[in-house]
Structure formats: C-alpha cells, structure tokens
Amino acid sequence: MTNTLETCPNFIGGEWLDSNSSGTPVYNPSTGEVIAQCPLGTAADANAAVQAAHAAFPDWMETPPVERARILGRFKMLMEDNFEDIVHCNTREHGKTLVESRGDVKRGMEVIEFALGVPSLLMGEVIENIARGIDCEAIRQPLGVCVGITPFNFPAMVPLWMYPIAIACGNTFVLKPSEKVPLTAMKIAKLLGKAGLPKGVLNIVHGGRDVVDALLTHPKVKAISFVGSTPIAKHIYEIGTKHGKRVQSNGGAKNYVLLMPDADVENSTRGVIEAAFGCAGERCMAGSTAVVVGAAEKTVLPTLIEATKRIKVGPTDRETQPDMGPVITRQHRDRVEELIAVGLKEGAKISADGRGVKVSEAPNGFFLGATILDHVESGMTIAREEVFGPVLNVMHMEDLDAAIELANGSAYGNGASIFTRSGKAAREFKHRVNCGMVGINIGVPASMAWFPFNGWNDSFFGDLHMQGKEGVQFFTQQKVTTSRWFSYGEGDIWYR
C-alpha cells in the first residue's frame, strides 16, 4: 500500500488551482519519506497571482482599517482553534520538535495581534497654521501589491511576519513559501479565507527561481519582503530595487554568545544550548559561536560540553519527543558534516561529535547530533560561513574588550548575547557590539512582534525592517497635504 501524496495547488484569486509545472518532493525529515509534491511554478503562475492581487487592491484599499482589523481578529481566533493541527503540520514537514513548532506558530500569531492595532498605527499627523491660514497633514496609504518570499526554517512565523501587517495596511499580497515546507503556509491561508478575507487579497504561488525572478521584476509589484541566506538576500535587494521595488531583505548571520567568568553556570549553559541547538541550529538567530572569556573556559565550558553530549536526537512526528529533531534534507545534513570536516582540517578540535548519530526508530531520517568545535580561529571557514545546523563554534578570548572586538569583526549583524552577573560588562557589551539585536543573559535575542527584527550589516539589506512600527512604515507611503482657503465657496450658503 502506498501513501497518497498531498498536493500543493496555487491559491490565486480565492481559488486553489493546480499548476502544470513539474514538482519537487516535500519530505518528512524525521522519516525521510516523501509526503507531498510541490510544483516548481512558472512566470505565468506568478503573473496570475500578481494580477489577482492587483485586481483586488482597489476595493481592499477602500475597506476601512477597522474592518480589516476585524477580519484579522477572526483569523487569530481560528488560529487558536486550529493551533495543534497547524503545529503538527509544521513538525511533520519541517522536523521541529512540537515545542519548537508551538513557538513558531505563537510568534507568528503575535504579529497578527500587533496588526490588530492598525487603526491606531495608521493615524497621521496634522499641524494647524503651519503658516498663517495654512494647515498641513500627513497620512499613510497602502502601496499596492506586495510580495513575500520565505525560507524553510520557520514555515508559520516568517510568512506571518509579512502579510498580516501588509494586508492590515490595505495592501494585497502574494506569498511564495519555500518549496521545502509549503503545507503549513497553505493550511494557515485557508483559515484566513474562513475569517472573511476577500478573494485575491492573499495569494500563494509555489516555485523556485523562475517564480522569484518573475515576482522581482513584475511591474505591478510594489514591495518585496524576503528572508533567507545572505547571498540570495543581496540578490533579491539588488534586483528588486533595480526594478523600482521597495525591498526589505533579511540574510544570514554568525551570532556570538559571550560567556564571562562570572556567568551563572546552569543558566548560561541552558541559554547557549537553546541558542546553538534549538531548531537543530536552522535559524538566522542561532547562537553559533560561543566566546569563552578568561576563566569561563574552566567554570562554564566543561558543563556546556557535557550538556551537549546528553542532547537526545530523534523523530519529532510522534508522541515521545526528543531534545532535538532532524535537519531539513539529507543534502543539507551532508553539507553541515562537510563543514565540520573542513573545520577539523583547518585546526579546530572536536569536543562533542554528532556525526553518524544512529536513530534506530527512524533510520532514514535526516539526523545530525549536536556538535561542538573548540579552539576555532577567526580565519577558519567554520568561523566565517553560516552553517545553519547543530554546530557550535567555541573561541577563547582573554577579556571583554577582545571578545567584543572579535564579534565586531563579523560581516554579519543579526544578534549577539552576553552571559554575566556584571552590570558594567553588560552595559559595555550592549553599547559597543555591532549588531541590531542584543541579549543580556538571553541566548536568542530575537525581537517580538512589537519591535523590529533588527538585523544590521550583511544580515539585512534595506531601510525598514520587518515587524513593529517599521513594518507599518514599510507597507505604507506617506501623503502630505498642504491646504489654504481664501473664502467661502459660492455653494456654501449656510454661513449667511
């Protein structure tokens, strides 16, 4: 008996439409089984989605913001009602543990909560008598058709970073989810339809480069939101802006976690484990480099190594849950193992080796155990490249100044954290470290929905970040009206 594969139709103009293009397999990473076929769509598919969004825009723009917010309110309630169903879909196609999938979905729902405040967020500014008898006002209006291109690592959260704010502001939207994890995005979109969103306001088109390039260059697309690796983020930004689009493009990172000699051993160990190995290290906020400062190599590092060796890896699609699940594909696992081998060849020392981990109950899953490479130097490949897997680099510095200088030498700039009991050290770190999101005794300092997801340097290309008030600014444009009236109009007889 063979399992029937799930289909992944495009969602265009309120209709689920099969694509005539070839497909690519969607795996359950815990078992290695193919669970769906995702079409690699065409430029024609992308054009149909954009045209549907463009046709829906005039009426949606005129829909009062409070009515848009009410639809999003019903959407959030449906998300709550279907929460565990979404979570299990997420885990099945991505491989996250159920705890991690719940966090993925919850963080996305927080953006919906933020977008519910759009009637207040869109309020403009007015100055009466900016000059004698002259008034000036500024209002925010939507852009038009906006596009989101999202990665595999957060199937729920990252799309929800984008379209709730975009549509709350009066735009229409085309989502291109990762072809590796299309099912969660589709499941959530169906709920938005049930909440009463008009046809064409949200569209989904599946595909690879052909679809992306068609969206980047389409004359009716006004704005592009992207999350992915830095080389692709830079490409998206350059092509999109060249074609006149507003672009926010989030790239990769190498996030540093400083362990000071006075750090609380138990809490800092827990924080680093969470930062380095949560979601199998497949996130741009992963704390992939631990900088052990001074005596912390004796007080914290041994405990961290032993805790890493105890991390249980296994399938996540069943009731008994492991500490860490698989990576997304067999090819990705092989790439991470190759980078570990390169690190060892270049002089790093392995303190915890997750290669070749055996999972008897799921022998075909894409598993890689938690790995620590010690004595990593800044010139090594493993120190410069984003691994995007369960690998923690350990580097040694004599003092805080040297550790901050090391972190600031990175080309990236998503996040950095410090574990310390010293307020002075924390303040120095917060003030001087060259990145957009800082954690003090927090391993993953990712911003919540009310603040921008604030990458710097090669971790972000653009001007306005996702989430928070910057998200509203990105998805709107200001119109300023200056007015003066000389006398009552001829038809205004009420004053006589």
Dist CA 224 CA 135 (whole Å): 34
**Which runs of consecutive H residues, i.e. helices, occur in 82-205?**
83-94, 98-115, 118-121, 157-168, 182-194
Q: Under CATH, which number does the domain 6-252+455-481 receive? A: 3.40.605.10
- The radius of gyration of the chain's CA atoms, rounded to the nearest angstrom, is 24
The answer to whether residue 146 is catalytic is no
- Is 361 strand, coil or helix? coil
pLDDT in tens, the chain (496 residues): 346 889 999 999 999 999 888 889 999 999 999 999 999 999 999 999 999 999 999 999 999 999 999 999 999 999 999 999 999 999 999 999 999 999 999 999 999 999 999 999 999 999 999 999 999 999 999 999 999 999 999 999 999 999 999 999 999 999 999 999 999 999 999 999 999 999 999 999 999 999 999 999 999 999 999 999 999 999 999 999 999 999 999 999 999 999 999 999 999 999 999 999 999 999 999 999 999 999 999 999 999 999 999 999 999 999 999 999 999 999 999 999 999 999 999 999 999 999 989 999 999 999 999 999 999 999 999 999 999 999 999 999 999 999 999 999 999 999 999 999 999 999 999 999 999 999 999 999 999 999 999 999 999 999 999 999 999 999 999 999 999 999 776 666 555 5
Domain-wise residue ranges, the chain: 6-252+455-481, 256-440
Dist CA 147 CA 61 (whole Å): 16
Report the CATH fold assignment for 256-440.
Aldehyde Dehydrogenase; Chain A, domain 2 (3.40.309)
C-alpha closest to that of 434 among 459, 408, 411, 416: 408
Catalytic residue among 38, 146, 279, 284: 284
Query: For residue 180, what are its two tokens?
Result: 């590796």
Query: For residue 75, what are its two tokens?
Result: 């959407």
CB 138 within 8 Å of CB 144: no
The helix (run of H) or strand (run of E) holding residue 481 is strand 476-484
Please give the pLDDT value at position 19: 87
Please give the pLDDT value at position 1: 36
C-alpha closest to that of 452 among 439, 441, 436, 433: 436
* DSSP labels, 4-33: PPEE--EEETTEEE---S-EEEEEETTTTE
Query: For residue 382, what are its two tokens?
Result: 């493993």
In this structure, the strands spanning 289-293 and 221-227 are unpaired
- Is 262 strand, coil or helix? coil
Beta bridge partners, 225, equal 148, 248
Please give the pLDDT value at position 180: 98
Please give the pLDDT value at position 402: 98
Query: For residue 230, what are its two tokens?
Result: 């830095």
Phi, psi (degrees; rounded to nearest 5) at 225: -115, 135
Please give the pLDDT value at position 3: 62
CA-angle at 466, arms to 461 and 472, nearest 5°: 120
Dist CA 166 CA 151 (whole Å): 18
